[in-house]
Structure 1
């Protein structure tokens, strides 16, 4: 029997990205919904993720944190799902997966917090500017059907979720290229199923800070 998959999350967190990835993978998993003020900071959970945040994935004895890392891990752990290109053909896959986890995430978070990089200090921020990030992102989702080519992958889950979430909450402009890309992937059966699962959990949970999960 495969090792158990245990998913620690909150329905208003980046755990939604991992839920989508888990539904794409199609393996059985158990969900542990944590509360921001209590169980997420409890000693038992801090022993699993010392940051005291979600999402976290436990696969047997392995523990993986950070949504992008979890997506990449699941794609490798369950290759039959076809969510990663073959080894040796992953340049675009890695590039855009970690572009979304780095520059895009940082730029969008800064905008949500109302932070502006001082003029002339853009190089220190890593992402440069939000305008630069969005320009590159627009090009990335315009070349092929999916960000790493003609095949849907874990990079689309992570980057696509960032775009969909960003457009919903105003940290990413609703440019036609973004809307078209999100329209291609956000209506996938696994994406809709994951959204329904998390939406059903919302009435039971307290709202979190949108940038600390």
Structure 2
């Protein structure tokens, strides 16, 4: 019998995409909620699991996995029967891994620099090149099909669907039709809707808990 996953979660964070993915995979898990507004992520119990005090984090048996993209890759491989992860011999495996890593390596640094109004490094030294290059590469890829790798949905679409939903919401990526259509398509999936509703409910509970102590 496969070990259940312990999922460390806080609302209004990157952890929501992992909640979506667990739903898409129909994976058994136990939800461990941290109230970041109350500083629970800095308590010794959680720091013993993830010394950075970050979510998402999962524990599976003896394995602790941190970092959003790594968790998505791990869970997709753990549940191949869901059909959302290209196998190692699949020609899509390489492009799949490319886009899983492109998100934290290029997209996030680019949009964070833009959001914080920070001057990026010179193009020759920047880990992502330029913001416009990152956006154009992603736009061109999404123009090829309904999903990131064409006609077949993968775990990468869960990661990128969540990413484009929140970056469009905050206006830190261009409102290209390819971005808007893709984000809307992914957000309409039942697993995305359930995660959004649960996230909002937990966030409200945390706000009330903090207000009650004020």
Taking structure 2 as the reference length, what is the TM-score of the superposition? 0.91
Match of 2:119 in 1: 116
Deviates more, 1:37-46 or 1:50-59: 37-46
After the TM superposition, which residues 4-153 of structure 1 pair with which residues of structure 2 at under 5 Å, given as runs? 4-36=4-36, 37-88=38-89, 89=91, 90-117=93-120, 121-153=122-154
Distance 1:149 1:69 in 2: 22
Match of 1:210 in 2: none
Deviation string 1:72-111 (CA, Å, 9 cap, x unpaired) is 1000001111111121321211111111121101111111
Shift of 1:55: 0.8
Shift of 1:149: 2.6
Deviating beyond 4 angstroms after TM superposition, the runs of 4 or more aligned structure 1 residues are none
Shift of 1:184: 2.1
- For the 8 Å contact 1:146–1:156, the answer to whether it is kept is yes
Distance 1:23 1:51 in 2: 26
- For the 8 Å contact 1:7–1:58, the answer to whether it is kept is yes
Distance 2:11 2:4 in 1: 21
Distance 1:38 1:193 in 2: 26
Structure of higher RCO (CA pairs closer than 8 Å, 6+ residues apart): 1
Shift of 1:38: 2.5
| Number of equivalent positions | 205
Q: Secondary structure at the match of 1:193?
A: helix
Q: Secondary structure at the match of 1:185?
A: helix
The unaligned stretches of length 5 or more in structure 1 are 207-213
Distance 2:173 2:205 in 1: 29
Shift of 1:188: 0.9
Q: Secondary structure at the match of 1:197?
A: helix
Distance 2:141 2:124 in 1: 21
- For the 8 Å contact 1:92–1:147, the answer to whether it is kept is no
Match of 1:165 in 2: 166
Distance 2:140 2:203 in 1: 35
The unaligned stretches of length 5 or more in structure 2 are 208-214
Deviation string 1:117-144 (CA, Å, 9 cap, x unpaired) is 25xx122221121111101110011112
Shift of 1:150: 1.5
Q: Secondary structure at the match of 2:55?
A: coil
Q: Secondary structure at the match of 1:124?
A: coil
Distance 2:13 2:60 in 1: 20
Taking structure 1 as the reference length, what is the TM-score of the superposition? 0.91
Deviation string 1:11-45 (CA, Å, 9 cap, x unpaired) is 11100111111111112211111122532011111
